[in-house]
Structure 1
């Protein structure tokens, strides 16, 4: 099993002053993630997954949306982040949300396939 590098992009559910975040999930999935595929695929993007935070019984998620992007290598991820086309993906952010995402880079250290 080859271990991958993950780039997690998490969008907070609230703005710093407590107001709810705006997020157009349909645009994000159909338009923004298509840009990610187009511009980051050549740099080793293997797959992505988008998850939505759930509310209920007094539970409010800290993040409204979290995307996990799998890359073949750290070099590929760094090249994608530095690519000129990445300016287009960054410029697109405010077409679907009013909050800056938090970004984490992680290395897979284990996995279960049950």
Structure 2
């Protein structure tokens, strides 16, 4: 199973609409990525640790053998990325764990 972790670091003055993220963005992610190997997602809102605060983080699970990096680069994923501006002005950080 592969995992894509996307985090949104919280900084003073940044905008993050958690309601939109959960009600609109995450269903959009499922619409585009579930047919391409996504098996589930665990969005987490708010958090902190030694590296600082997070507005949100999501762990997106993929079926074994899914080429997550290719999925992210595929033009078919454009609607997912275009929607980010609708809920935040934070630049997300993405990390791929191909064999989690």
TM-score by length of 1: 0.75
1:5 aligns with 2:2: yes
Deviation at 1:100, TM superposition (A): 0.8
Report the aligned-residue RMSD.
Answer: 2.1
| SS of 1:75 mapped into structure 2 | coil
Residue 64 of structure 2 corresponds to: 73
Q: Deviations over 1:14-41 (max 9, x none)?
A: 1xxxx23211111111111111111111
Q: Which has the larger radius of gyration?
A: 1
Unaligned runs of 5+ in 2: none
Q: Is the 8 A contact 1:23 1:96 kept in 2?
A: yes
**2: CA distance, partners of 1:30 / 1:78:** 25
Paired residue total: 98
Task: Decide which structure has greater strand share.
Answer: 2
Residue 19 of structure 2 corresponds to: 26
Deviation at 1:64, TM superposition (A): 1.3
**2: CA distance, partners of 1:6 / 1:20:** 30
Residue 36 of structure 1 corresponds to: 29
TM-score by length of 2: 0.85
